C-alpha cells in the first residue's frame, strides 16, 4: 500500500488508526517487541524469531503475528516447550529437535543453483541441519555433504565435484575447523564457515575453530558466529538473491 | 594445454622436463615456495603474495614468476623496501603506503554492479583502501563511502541509497564495530564486515569489533579477520563471479 | 539524632548501650553482616541487599532490619525462595520473577525529568526491567522504550524525540551492544550502557557487548557491569540527585 | 540559519551551493572525513578530533575547518609532530605532552559546581590531566586531587570533604583500581571511573583495573575505557549540562 | 623410628615387610594413592585430603588411614555424601556445609598471636569460614572480622585496631577485591589475599579480584587461588610456625 | 614527635606551619605526589618509589625528600637515566642495571635467619636479583640459590638442606613455574612464588607461570605479580618482622 | 582385495555394486557418517568412535559396522546410556564408568616395551585410566604409576627406575601440571603430557596445566588436549609402531 | 668415571677437589648457572643453551664450558651479537640468522630413517629451519617439504609418499594450523605439530594454531609451544633414540 492509499482507507474507515500507523511505520509495537513487517520488502526475507532468552509466551505472540502477516514464520534455538505451545495453534508448524527450528510455510525453491552444506563430523550435524533447513525454508536447494573432515582427506576429495558445483558452500566444523581452509582452496564460489561448539578442553566451546577459520590460509573465506548455522544460511540466501536479481541501481 | 599436448611437446623437445612437470602438477617448486599457477583456472583469481613474514628476496622471486605467468601480480602487507626492490625490475608496479599493496597489471572492470566499501572513521582508511584497491585490481567497480560511523547516524543515513545500490557491501570499522549491524539491517545484499585494529584499551587490538561483528544483531553479516581488507575483497569478488557466471553444474 | 542527644538518652536509660553504639557508628553489627544504616544520609539512598551468594536466612534478617529502619527495602538477584520467605513476614513485599527484584516501600516520584530505559531486543527485558523498577523505586519517572536495536534503525529513529527528552538514558543491549553508540550520538544528556548476557558463542556471556560499549565511538557513554541494570539505575539516580540538589560546597 | 534563510541566500548568490548543502546536511564531506558541524547544537559540544590513527595532514585539515566553524578545537592523543604543524598555522594552539591534548579556544567556566579529578598514583597523571584539561576546555571548574590511592587510606580520607563537595567525581587509577570503590562509598554524586594502563604483569595493560572497576562493590560507579580521561570528562560535562539545563521535554 | 630400629623389628617379626617399607619410604602405596605419612615431620602439618575429583570411596579410605596414623584428619571441598559416609565410621567427624570441610581431631591452640580473617561481604563467608576453620584446626586462634568491604570504609576503619593486632591477616574478597589493598596499607604484618568467586559478569568467576589483588598498590600482599581459604590458612600457619620456631640452621 | 610537641614547636616558631601540618598528617603534599612519611612507623618500612610511569624529574624530587627524611631510599624499575640524574646529587646511590634498583642507605642486617632466593634458570636472574637486593636493603641476610629448575631435579635436591634452613623461601621461575611446587613440598617455612616474564608463546608473558603457581599442588604457596621480586621481598620482610617482634596486642 | 579382484567379484555377482564402491573408496557412506574402513591399513589402527556430541543411535550404528569389519571397536567419552544399548547387542563389550570407554575385542600385546602412565594425583585417575586402557586396547603393555605429583618429590623419585625403563612415558596432571617437567628431565624416552581438568579457580578448567606443559623447561615434552588420555595413548602407540616396524621407505 | 676412580684420582692428586665434586654431582656450579654435564648420559643429548633472556657474556661462558666437555654445543634463539662474540673464540661455530641457531660440532647421522619437516607457508621457514637444523645436529637425516599448506591440497598430496616414508613428521604451520590435521590422517608414524607466530589479528601471535592443533580431529598428533621448532626436533630425536635402542629394562 502506498501512503496515499493508507490515508484514504483511514478516511473511509476501512482501517483503524492503529493499523494505519503500523503500515506507515513498517512495524507493529507490542510494548515488549516491535515486529518489523517491513523487513521482507527491505531485505528480501521476513523477520525470523530468535528463541533464546524469550519466554514461551513472547515467542507464541510474535510467531502468530508474523504468520498472519507473511504466511510463514520461523523460530531459531527453540525449545520443545515453545514447539508444543505453537503447534497447539498451528498444527502445521514443524519442529526438529536436532536443529531446534520451528518452521511453518516452508517455501518452494526460489533460486537456481545449490547451496552445499558440509559438516566435518557427525557431531556437527545439529548446526549443519540448522543451516540446511534454514536455507531450504528461504528457498534454496541444498546439497548435504556430511562427515568429510580433513583427517580423512580422501573422503573430502571424493566429494570434490559436488562441492565445486554448488553456488555457495557452507562449512560447519568443530574441533580445529580445518575443513574451511581445505574447501576454500578448491572452489570458485563463496565459502561461509560456521565454527561449532563440538569439542572440549582447548577447543574453548568453539572459540578455537572460530579463530582458526578467521585466520584461514584460504583467502576469501568469511565466518559467522559459533553454531550460527542460521546466519550462514541467511548470508547464502543474500548471495543467491544477488545472483538472481543482478546488479541494482544501474 | 592438455596433458597430451604437454607430453607431445616434451617428446619434440619443445619444452623441458621441468616445465612439463610444472604444467602437469599446476605448481612450480622453488624449494622455499611452491607457486600455484593453477589457482586462476581453479578459483578464478591468481595467487596473491602475502608479504608479511617473507624476506624481500623471497617476495621478489615469487612476484617475478607470477607476473611472467599471469601478466599481473599483487603483494599484500608489503614494506617500502619490498616495493623499492620490485620497482627496480618492474617500474610499472605501483605501491600505496597507506594500503601497503604492491600491484601490477591492474585489471579492467570484469563485473557488473558495484562493491561499496564503507569505513566508520578516518583512521580505518588503510584497511578500507586495502579492500577497495584489491577489489578494483580483481575487476570490480568500487564505491568508497568513508567516515559514516554510527555516532553520527545521519551521516550514514544520508548515504542509504548509495549503499543499497551496491551488489556487495564491505564495512570496515574499528572501535566497537557497530556500523556492520546498522548497515546489515538496511540492505538486501551480502554484507562483509572487516574489524580494524584502530582503537585502544578494551578494544584489544581489534578483538572487540571482531567479536562484536560476529554477534551482530543483523542476520547474515559475515566476518573476516582483523584488518583483512584483502580477504573481504576476495570474498566480494567470489560473489561477483557467482553473479556473473550463474549456477554451475546444472 | 546528634551525638549529644544519643549520649543523653543513654544516660537517661532511654536507649541501650548497643543501640547507642549502632547510632554512633552508623552501622549495626550482626556478625555475618554489618548493616550500613548511615548510607542514606551519606549517599542519598539506603543500602540495597545483593541477593546472590547469600542464604535465604541471611537475606531475611537483613531485609527485616533495613525495613524497620528505613520503611523500605530492596533485594536484587533474589530467588523465588527468598521472595516466599520474605512475603510470609512482609505480605506487601513485591517480587517480579523477570527482574528478580524484591521491593517494599516503593517510593513516590522524587525527581523531575525522566529516565529513559532502552532495550535492544526482547531478550534483554529482564535487565531492562531491573533498571526500570530500581529507578522507579528510587523515585524516578521511567520511560520504557523497548526493542529498538540497530538492525532496524528506523524503529530507533521513530523514538528519537522521546529519547532526547529524557534526563538520563539507560541502554540495555546484548548481542554486539551497538545500540549504545547509536544513542550516544543522538542526545545531549548522559548515556549509561548496560551490556546483557543475551547471546551465544563469540558473545562470551556478555563480555563482547561490554568491551564494545567501552570502546564506543560515541564519546561520553559510560558503562556498568554485564546485566547490572540495578547499577545503571543507581548511577542515574545519583545524576538525578545532582540535578535536584545542584552544586554542593559553595 | 533556518532552511528558508539558507535557500534565500543561495538564490541571492550570498552562499554557494556547496556551502548550502553543508549547512542543510549538518556536515561537510571532505572524502576521507565528514565533519559534523551539527554536533554542537545536537549534543552541546563540538566534535573533537581523535588523533590516533590519523595522519598529520588529516588532523591539520580537520582542525582548521572545525576552528573556522566553532572558534575552538581540540585533538586527543596527539603527537608532538601534529602539535608542531598545527602551531605553525595556529600559534595560539596549546599542546601538553603529558596529556597529549592540542587545544585552542579554551572556554570560560560555563557550569556551576566542580568536577573533582582524583588520581591514585603519580603515574596516573597523564590520564588524570587529560580528564582535567578536557573538563576545563568544556567549561568546568576542576579540583585536582592527586596521589590518594587506597594503600594510604588516610591520605584519601584527609580529602574527604573536597571530594564530597564536587558535583561529579572522576577517579583515575591503574594498578588494581581500588580507589573507585572507596570513593564510590563516600559520596552522594556520580562517580566515573577511568582505569589506567599503569602497571605490569597481571595488570594486563589496564584490563585488570577496568574489570575491577566494573565489579565495584560500590553501587552506581560507571566506567569508561582504559586511559580514556577524555571520555570521562565528556560524560561529566553531559551531567553538568543536565544540571544546568534541567529536565527537557516537559 | 630410626632405620636401625625398623630393620630390627622386621628381623624380630614385630612388623611386617610391608609396614617396614612404608616406614622407610615415608608413604603408603594404595595403588590409586600414595599417602604421605612423612609430611608432618617434614612440613609440620599432616597431609590434608582434597575432596574434589575423588570418589566417596577414595576419600573414605584415605581419611581412615590418615586418622589411624595421625589421630586427626581433614577433607576440603567435601560433599555432603562424603560427610555422611565418613560419619558412619567416625561419629566425631564434623562437617560444615558452608565451608565444606570435614574435620576430626581439631587441635588445641599451638601458636601465640592471632590470625585475623576478614571478609568483604556476607557472600564471601564460605571462603572466609574455610580459612578460619582450617586455621583453627591447625592450631591458630582466629579473629573473624566480617563484612568490612571498602564501599563502607568507616566499617573497616572501626576495626583498624583489631586488624593491626593480628599476627597475620587473611583477606577474603570477591567483587573487585579492593579490601586487600586497603588493609595492606594499614598493617606491619603479612597480608594474604584470597579472591572469591562471588560476583558476576566482568567478575569472571573470581579472575578479576585475583588479578586485582596481584596488582595491589599495597606492597607485600601475597595471593592464593580463587576461593582457596584453605591455602591461605596453611600459609598463615607456616608463618606462625616460623614465628614459634624461630630461625633454623644456625 | 607527639602532637603536643609539634604544637609547642609551632607556638615557639621552631617549625613552620607547613612542617607541622606535614608531621600531623604523616605525609607531605607536593601536588603531583603525597609522600607518606608515616609509613615506616605504620608498617615498619619507609615508602619505596615505583619508577615506572614517573618522569625522571618526579623520581628525583621524591627520592630527595625521602632520603632527607629517612636517611635511605629505593627506586624500583628505574631507568639508567633516572640513576644518572640521582647520582649527580647523591653519589653514594647505587644502580644495578640487572635488577634496575636504585638504592641508598642500604641497611645492616636487622633480622635473624635467612631469606633464600631461588631462581629456576639463568634468565630469571633480573627478578631474583630484585628480590635479593630488596631483601638485603630491608635488613635480611640472603642466600642466593640459582639455576635449580626442575628439569634437572638433582641440581635442586643437592640444595635441599640450604633451602630447608631458610626462614622464608622466595622462588623465581619463568617457563612453567614448576619450581614453586617442588620447593613447596620440601619445607616447613613460608614459600613465596614470583612468576617471571621469561619465556615465549604459550608462556603469555608470564601469565602461565603465574596461573601455574596459583594452582600449585603444594598447599600454602603464596604468589605475587609477574616479575615482582620487590613485592616478594617486602612480604618476606613482613614475615621476618613478625618473627622478630612476635605477637602483637596481647 | 586388489582393485582387480573387486571388479571381478562385481562381474561375477559375488559382491554388490555398493559393497564394491565401499571397498574401492575405503569408506562406507551412511549419510550422517562416512566410516573409514581404510584407516587400519593406512595408519595401523582402526577408526575409534568419539562419543561426545553423537546420539546413542548414531554410536550404536557406527559401533556395529566397525565391529563387523574389524572384529574390535572402541568408543571414547561414552555415556552409560550408550554402553547399555551397545551391550544389548554386544554382551562382550566392556564399559568403565571412570574412563568412560566402551571397548570390545581388546587386543593382545603387539609391542615390546612398556608405556608408563603416570598421574599426579588421585583425581587425575579418569584421564590416566583412559590413557592406560586405550594403550592396552591398542596392544601395549602398560605400567601404571599413580599419585606421584611433585609436591612429594620423594614419592616420584622412588619410581625413577620404573619410569626410566618405559619406552614412552605419558604424564597426566591437573593443578599446575609440574609433573611433566620433572619427568621430562629424568628420561631418555619420549614424554607425552596430558593436562587434566582437575582443579578450580586459576586452573581455568585445565588451560593452566595445558599452557604450563607447553612451556615446560624440559625440552622434548609434547602435549595433547586437556583430558585427552586417548590421544596420548594413540601417539604412544604410533611411536611403538615406529619402534616395531623400524624405518620406512628405504 | 666410576665413583671409585674419581676418588682415587683425588687421592693421587690427579684431579682437584672441585673437579671431583663436579664429576660426582654431574653439574658445574658457576653461581649464575649450574651446567648439567650429566644430561648426555641421562637423556642421550647434551644440554642446549636457551639464548633468550641471557646476556651475551653468560651465553659465551656456558657455550665454552659445554664445548670443552662435549666437543659440541648449540644455542637457540641466539642474537647476531652472541654469534659474533662466540665466533671470535670458536671460528668453526656456525650461525644461521633465519633459524637463529649457533651450532658447533654438528654430528653425523646417528639414526636410521628420516625426520620429515613440513612447513605450511614460506613465512614459517624460520621455525621449520630451527627444527630441521636441530634435528640434523642431533644426528637425524632430514627431509624438508616446504610450502604445502592445505589451501592448495594438491601440493600436499603430491608429497604424500615422501611424508609417509618418514619415521617422524614435524609439521610447522602458522595461520590456522590446519596442516597438522591433514597430515595426521595420512601417516602411520608420529606427528609433532609446531604452531608458528606467523599471522595477525585473530591469529593471536600463534595461540590460534596452537589451540587448533591441540583440538585436531586427527588422533595422536602431539603439540609443542609456539615457534618451538627446537622442542619438536628434540622430541623427534627421543623417538629416534627409542627406535634405535629398542625397549629398556627387560
What ipTM score was computed for the predicted complex, to two decimals?
A: 0.94
Contact E133, E101 (CB under 8 A): yes
**Alpha-carbon gap, residue E181 to E220, rounded angstroms:** 10
Interface contact B75, partner D, CB < 8 A: no
* Residue from B26, B31, B32, B228 to probe the interface with H (highest H Cβ count within 10 Å): B32
Is C203 in contact with A225 (Cβ distance < 8 A)? Answer: yes
Who's near G111: CB < 8 A, 6+ residues apart? G139, G140, G141, G167, G237, G240, G241, G243, G244
What's the whole-number mean pLDDT along residues C109-132?
A: 96
Lowest mean pLDDT across A3-7, B217-221, C185-189, D60-64: A3-7
Contact B217, C176 (CB under 8 A): yes
User: Using one digit for the tens of pLDDT, what is the confidence trace for D174-221?
Assistant: 999 999 999 999 999 999 999 999 999 999 999 999 999 999 999 999
* Confidence tier at G175 by pLDDT (50, 70, 90): very high
3 state SS for H118-169: EECCHHHHHHHHHHHHHHHHCCCEEEEECCCCHHHHHHHHCCHHHHHHCCEE
Tell me how many residue pairs between chain B and chain C have CB atoms under 8 A apart. Answer: 128
Report residue A48 CA to chain centroid gap.
8
User: Using one digit for the tens of pLDDT, what is the confidence trace for C152-192?
Assistant: 899 999 999 999 999 999 999 999 999 999 999 999 999 99
Q: Cα-flanking dihedrals φ and ψ of residue B193, to 5°? A: -100, 135
Is C165 in contact with D248 (Cβ distance < 8 A)? Answer: yes
What's the whole-number mean pLDDT along residues H215-237?
A: 96
What is the nearest CA distance from G2 to chain F, expressed in angstroms? 48
User: Using one digit for the tens of pLDDT, what is the confidence trace for C11-65?
Assistant: 888 888 888 888 888 888 888 999 988 888 889 999 999 999 999 999 999 999 9
Contact E230, F219 (CB under 8 A): yes
**Alpha-carbon gap, residue E36 to F219, rounded angstroms:** 14
User: Using one digit for the tens of pLDDT, what is the confidence trace for D71-86?
Assistant: 999 999 999 999 999 9
Chain E neighbours, 3+ Cβ pairs < 8 A = C, D, F, G
Of G31, G38, G227, the CB nearest to A201: G227
- The proportion of chain G whose per-residue pLDDT surpasses 90, expressed as a percent, equals 76
Is E238 in contact with F220 (Cβ distance < 8 A)? Answer: yes
Provide the pLDDT for residue E2: 75
Is A157 in contact with H153 (Cβ distance < 8 A)? Answer: yes
Who's near C115: CB < 8 A, 6+ residues apart? C132, C135, C140, C141, C142, C143, C166, C167, C168, C169, C170, C233, C236, C240
Give E-chain residues touching F245 at CB under 8 angstroms.
188
Interface contact C54, partner D, CB < 8 A: no
* Confidence tier at H249 by pLDDT (50, 70, 90): low
Residues 156-195 of chain H with CB under 8 A from chain G are 161, 164-168, 185-192
Q: Cα-flanking dihedrals φ and ψ of residue G145, to 5°? A: -130, 95
Q: Distances in Å between the alpha carbon of B172 and those of A203, B131, B132, B228, D32? A: 29, 9, 11, 9, 13
Chain B neighbours, 3+ Cβ pairs < 8 A = A, C, D, H
Give D-chain residues touching F54 at CB under 8 angstroms.
122-123
Domains of chain D in start order, with CATH, are 31-104 (no CATH), 114-245 (3.40.50.1970)
First to last CA, chain D: 26
Is E237 in contact with F220 (Cβ distance < 8 A)? Answer: yes
**Alpha-carbon gap, residue D125 to D103, rounded angstroms:** 18
Whether H and E touch, i.e. at least 3 CB pairs below 8 A, reads as no
User: Using one digit for the tens of pLDDT, what is the confidence trace for D125-159?
Assistant: 999 999 999 999 999 999 999 999 999 899 999 99
Chain A neighbours, 3+ Cβ pairs < 8 A = B, C, G, H
Query: Of B245, C146, C241, E172, nearest to A31 (Cα)?
Result: C146
Of E146, E147, E202, the CB nearest to C226: E202
* Confidence tier at C250 by pLDDT (50, 70, 90): low
Query: Of H122, H125, H72, H136, nearest to H97 (Cα)?
Result: H125
* Residue from G188, G192, G215, G245 to probe the interface with H (highest H Cβ count within 10 Å): G188
Provide the pLDDT for residue A234: 98
Interface contact G146, partner E, CB < 8 A: yes
* Confidence tier at B50 by pLDDT (50, 70, 90): very high
Interface contact B36, partner H, CB < 8 A: yes
Residue in the structure block whose three cell numbers are 666410576: H2
Q: What is the pLDDT along chain F (250 residues), one digit of tens a residue?
A: 777 788 888 888 888 888 888 888 888 888 899 998 888 888 999 999 999 999 999 999 999 999 998 999 999 999 999 999 999 999 999 999 999 999 999 768 999 999 999 999 999 999 999 999 999 999 999 999 999 999 989 999 999 999 999 999 999 999 999 999 999 999 999 999 999 999 999 999 999 999 999 999 999 999 999 999 999 999 999 999 999 999 876 5
Of F43, F189, F215, the CB nearest to E187: F43
Contact E174, E124 (CB under 8 A): yes
For helices D229-245 and C229-245, angle between their N-to-C axes, nearest 10 degrees: 50
Give A-chain residues touching H193 at CB under 8 angstroms.
none
Interface contact E146, partner C, CB < 8 A: yes
What's the whole-number mean pLDDT along residues A140-151?
A: 96
- The proportion of chain E whose per-residue pLDDT surpasses 90, expressed as a percent, equals 76
Interface contact F31, partner D, CB < 8 A: yes
**Alpha-carbon gap, residue G159 to G150, rounded angstroms:** 12
Please spell the DSSP secondary structure of B9-71, one letter per residue: HHHTTSS-HHHHHHHHHSEEE-SS-EEETTHHHHHSS---EE-TTS-HHHHHHHHHHHHHHHS
Whether H and A touch, i.e. at least 3 CB pairs below 8 A, reads as yes
Measured over the CA atoms of residue G116, residue G120, residue G121 and residue G123, the dihedral's sign is negative
* Confidence tier at G249 by pLDDT (50, 70, 90): low
- What cell numbers appear for D223 in the block? 566506567
Please check the confidence at residue E248 and state whether its pLDDT lies above 90. Answer: no
Residues 80-119 of chain G with CB under 8 A from chain H are 112-114
Q: What rounded mean pLDDT belongs to chain G?
A: 93
Give H-chain residues touching A198 at CB under 8 angstroms.
none
Q: What rounded mean pLDDT belongs to chain A?
A: 93
Of H42, H230, H243, the CB nearest to G242: H243
- The proportion of chain H whose per-residue pLDDT surpasses 70, expressed as a percent, equals 99
Q: Cα-flanking dihedrals φ and ψ of residue C92, to 5°? A: -80, -10
Integer-rounded Cα radius of gyration of chain D: 20
Give F-chain residues touching D147 at CB under 8 angstroms.
32-34
- The proportion of chain B whose per-residue pLDDT surpasses 90, expressed as a percent, equals 76
3 state SS for A192-242: EEEECCCCCHHHHHHHHHHHHHHCCCCCCCEECCCCCHHHHHHHHHHHHHH
DSSP code for D202: G
Contact A123, G52 (CB under 8 A): yes
Amino acid at each position: 500500500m502506498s501512503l496515499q492509499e493508507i490515508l484514504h482507507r483511514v478516511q473511509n474507515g476501512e482501517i483503524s488508526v492503529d493499523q494505519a500507523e503500523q503500515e506507515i511505520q513498517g512495524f507493529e509495537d507490542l510494548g515488549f517487541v516491535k515486529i518489523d513487517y517491513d523487513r521482507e520488502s527491505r531485505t528480501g526475507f521476513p523477520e525470523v524469531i530468535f528463541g533464546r532468552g524469550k519466554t514461551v509466551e513472547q515467542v507464541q505472540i510474535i510467531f502468530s503475528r508474523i504468520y498472519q502477516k507473511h504466511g510463514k514464520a520461523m523460530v531459531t534455538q527453540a525449545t520443545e516447550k515453545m514447539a508444543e505451545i505453537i503447534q497447539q495453534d498451528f498444527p502445521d508448524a514443524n519442529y526438529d529437535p536436532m536443529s531446534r527450528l520451528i518452521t511453518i510455510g516452508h517455501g518452494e525453491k526460489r533460486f537456481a543453483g545449490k547451496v552445499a552444506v558440509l559438516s566435518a563430523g557427525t557431531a556437527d550435524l545439529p548446526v549443519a541441519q540448522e543451516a540446511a533447513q534454514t536455507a531450504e525454508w528461504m528457498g534454496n536447494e541444498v546439497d548435504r555433504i556430511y562427515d568429510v573432515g580433513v583427517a580423512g582427506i580422501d573422503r573430502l576429495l571424493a566429494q570434490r565435484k559436488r562441492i565445486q558445483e554448488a553456488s555457495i558452500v557452507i562449512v560447519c566444523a568443530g574441533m580445529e575447523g580445518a575443513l574451511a581452509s581445505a574447501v576454500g582452496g578448491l572452489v570458485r564460489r563463496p565459502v561461509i564457515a560456521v565454527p561449532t561448539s563440538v569439542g572440549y578442553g582447548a577447543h574453548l566451546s568453539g572459540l578455537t575453530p572460530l579463530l582458526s577459520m578467521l585466520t584461514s590460509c584460504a583467502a576469501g573465506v568469511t565466518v559467522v558466529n559459533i553454531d550460527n548455522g542460521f546466519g550462514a544460511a541467511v548470508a547464502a540466501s543474500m548471495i543467491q538473491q544477488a545472483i538472481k536479481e543482478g546488479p541494482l541501481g544501474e
